[in-house]
Amino acid sequence: MSLGHIRTFRVAAADLNGQMRGKRLPRSAFDKLDQGNTRLPLSVLNVDIWGADIKDSPLVFETGDADGVMMPTERGPVPMPWLETPSALVPMEMFSDQGIPFAGDPRHALRDVLKRYDDNGWTVRAGIEMEFYLVDDSGPDLAPPENPQSGRPLQGHAILSLRQLDAFDDFISDVYEACEDMDIPAQSTISEAGLGQFEIDLDHREALRAADDAWLFKALIKGMARKHGMAGTFMSKPLPDEAGSGMHVHFSVTDREGRNIFGNGGPAGTPLLHHAVAGCLEAMPASTLVFAPHGPSYDRFVPGAHAPTGACWAYENRTAALRIPGGAPAARRIEHRVAGGDNNPYLVLAAILGAALIGMEDGLVAPPPITGNAYDMDLPQLKSDWLSAIEAFETDPLIARIFSPALIRNLTLTKRQEMERLAEIPPKSHWKTYLEAV
């Protein structure tokens, strides 16, 4: 985008919770961004959900809270259409003074996984389904939003309802226009199962770019909802009696000649697809902390919340954690359906793609695909609570093959601190912390 009419802009990188951390800078600073003049403490990408330093963090107590160098990503500046003043955001990554990627930067974690694919001669493409709620947060409790046409709170469920889409047409149209301006490939929109719940699909792109899209899309939805007098949230279950929100990741892998290594010309897929499925299943329980990173995330893992809790796979079966969609063999892919909407997209894609790569490298064998309703089956389970998820992520050998020791340490320290502090807040007030932070 051109910055000709922009007088100030933001620079930001993703912290471990996916929140944007950065600065507002004058237009005159833009041309110097790639010179390494933008500095922030390394610890800022590993603060807790409230922005507090992590006690006993080596980033603070062993390094003296040293500065890192923020450098612009390949994305370049994008507009921020939800603000009244014309503004731009420049996505950034964190490095040391020596130019070494900071291991606590979640974008680097995904980049490291994708480098291993590239070493095998493979490229990953991903498409992401983003579920979210529009809510009224003006009262003591969250409530469904008003219907913009009638001015009355939403009543009754409207899954796949065109009437509901039309009622929120002004908001959705502004989101699509903003996506075009921000180069976010928004595709179909549906009204989902919950009151005020929607899903917008982001088209397949190179996986790092897809994670960028998801990260920016979250900021867009939250900002545009406020512009329309509502709150937009990716909390996994903001309304206790409604369906949970997830983030489904579709991915495929191509070789140097552009051939899909998962497609064999038929519906079954190649042995590499089956190995990738096996790796995803093997790492799924220990990856729970990435898929459900917050205390309220576990409210989604209950019957009726449309959240897979058992590690299994199937062809064309939406109750399974891993689904192999139908369609043309050339487009054969895996749909990973576990993550809640409140995740960090960089960590989620790193966990999923890292597990799939381990499966392919080790030749892991997948169990037979299920048929029928996965919710009624006795299956290996994801971790059912926050503490168990933290402990599994911290000690699991497959996780250690996906993420660096520094990121594992920083994330588990962060989550233990958040768990301790959240216990002091009444559960009915938890939403005030997470509504727009996730």
pLDDT at 214 > cutoff 70? yes
Mean pLDDT of 295-302: 92
Burial class (CB in 10 A: 0-12, 13-18, 19+), 273: buried
User: DSSP readout, 73-110?
Assistant: -TT--EE-TTSSS--EEEEEEEE-TTSPBPTT-HHHHH
Can you give the pLDDT at residue 194? 87
Give the rounded distance of the alpha carbon of 174 from its chain centre. Answer: 22
Can you give the pLDDT at residue 161? 75
Can you give the pLDDT at residue 344? 98
Do 212 and 227 contact (CB within 8 A), yes or no? no
Cα gap 160→189, rounded to integer Å:
9
pLDDT digits (tens, 9 = 90+) for 5-59: 777 899 999 999 999 999 999 888 888 898 888 999 999 999 999 999 998 777 6
Burial class (CB in 10 A: 0-12, 13-18, 19+), 304: exposed
Q: Comparing 57-61, 69-73, 244-248, 414-418, which segment has the lowest mean pLDDT?
A: 57-61
Instruction: Name the more confident of 435 and 375.
Output: 435
pLDDT digits (tens, 9 = 90+) for 352-363: 999 999 999 999
Mean pLDDT of 208-233: 98
* Confidence bin at 376 (pLDDT 50/70/90): confident
pLDDT at 224 > cutoff 80? yes
Can you give the pLDDT at residue 4? 65
Domains and CATH numbers, the chain: 8-104 (3.10.20.70), 113-434 (3.30.590.10)
pLDDT at 61 > cutoff 90? no
Mean pLDDT of 376-382: 91
Can you give the pLDDT at residue 60? 55
Mean pLDDT of 269-291: 98
pLDDT digits (tens, 9 = 90+) for 107-138: 999 999 999 999 999 999 999 999 999 999 99
pLDDT at 274 > cutoff 90? yes
* Confidence bin at 154 (pLDDT 50/70/90): confident
For residue 115, give the H/E element and its range: helix 106-119
* Confidence bin at 306 (pLDDT 50/70/90): low
Q: Two tokens at 56?
A: 């006993």
Do 301 and 240 contact (CB within 8 A), yes or no? no
* Confidence bin at 303 (pLDDT 50/70/90): low
Q: Comparing 302-311, 359-368, 426-435, which segment has the lowest mean pLDDT?
A: 302-311
For 189, phi then psi, to 5°, come to -120, 140
